[in-house]
Amino acid sequence: MSKTFTLDGKTIPFTEGQTIIQAAQAADVYIPHLCYHPEFKPHGSCKLCTVKVNGRQTASCTMQAAEGMTVESDIEELNAERRALTQMLFVEGNHFCPSCEKSGDCQLQATAYQLGMMTTHYDHFFPNRPLDATHQEFLLDFNRCILCSLCVRASRDVDGKNVFALAGRGIKTHLMVNARSGKLADTDFTNDDKAAHVCPVGVILPKRCGFKVPIGQRTFDRQPISAYVDTRLPAKDH
């Protein structure tokens, strides 16, 4: 017999070693997240997947499931905190959804809709982060980076290339390319790399296929992000 815990009143089976979010996804239950990816070691940086376990907050991507635990996720206390975190991500970068190629396939945008975010609330930082269009196949728009480190982990742990890295500390933390020039063209990055297809926002964009799928017909235009559970799905459209 499988071990179980309860999540928002629903019984969730799990196997030994599974985290809360892994068990939830296996049961088709959505927990908001941005930096979590089922193929990589949990990072725990975005904090959107925070849940309450027996009354105490913890990241569901790092907390292992245990028999009989009581987990709360879809409650207003946590959703309010998630909205605030999402608002901060919007103002710390330059996210202009109506003009963004990733609109409709963007997990940040879709999460904001899911959480009922109506305004960014905070003052925008408007950072000045130059684009990198040197690569033949890809454009990098650093203005949209949310520091999820998915491309860093994919390039390091799957591709074995270490093309990307996070540099700086605190508010000055930023994504960088591991090349003497700092340019993507001076790396061995290719379309076959896992890192080319994991960005949840619009930082890593393939060239010459912009708006191939019309706005209004994209992944999260068709259904809300909670309908997918495993948010690796949007990459299939591009």
Contact 36, 119 (CB under 8 A): no
Q: What is the pLDDT of residue 229?
A: 85
In a shared domain, residues 136 and 163: yes
What is the rounded distance in angstroms from the CA atom of residue 135 to the CA atom of residue 190?
Answer: 9
pTM (2 d.p.): 0.93
Whether 220 is in a domain gets the answer no
% of the chain at pLDDT higher than 70: 96
What is the extent of the structural domain holding 144?
89-209
Average model confidence (pLDDT) for the chain? Answer: 93
Given the DSSP bridges, would you call strands 138-140 and 204-206 parallel, antiparallel or unpaired? antiparallel
Residue-wise burial string across 6-17, b where 16 or more C-beta atoms lie within 10 A, e elsewhere: ebeeeebebeee
Q: Do 126 and 183 lie in a common domain?
A: yes
Give the model's pLDDT for residue 171: 85
The closest alpha carbon to 135, from 188, 77, 76, 96, belongs to 188
Residue 128: pLDDT band by 50, 70, 90 thresholds? confident
The answer to whether residue 228 is domain-embedded is no
pLDDT of residue 235: 42
- CATH (domain of 34): 3.10.20.740
197 and 104 housed in the same domain: yes
69 with 172, same domain: the answer is: no
Residue pLDDT, tens place only, 211-230? 889 999 999 999 999 999 87
Do 205 and 103 share a domain, yes or no?
A: yes
Give the Cα separation of 220 and 238 in Å (integer): 14
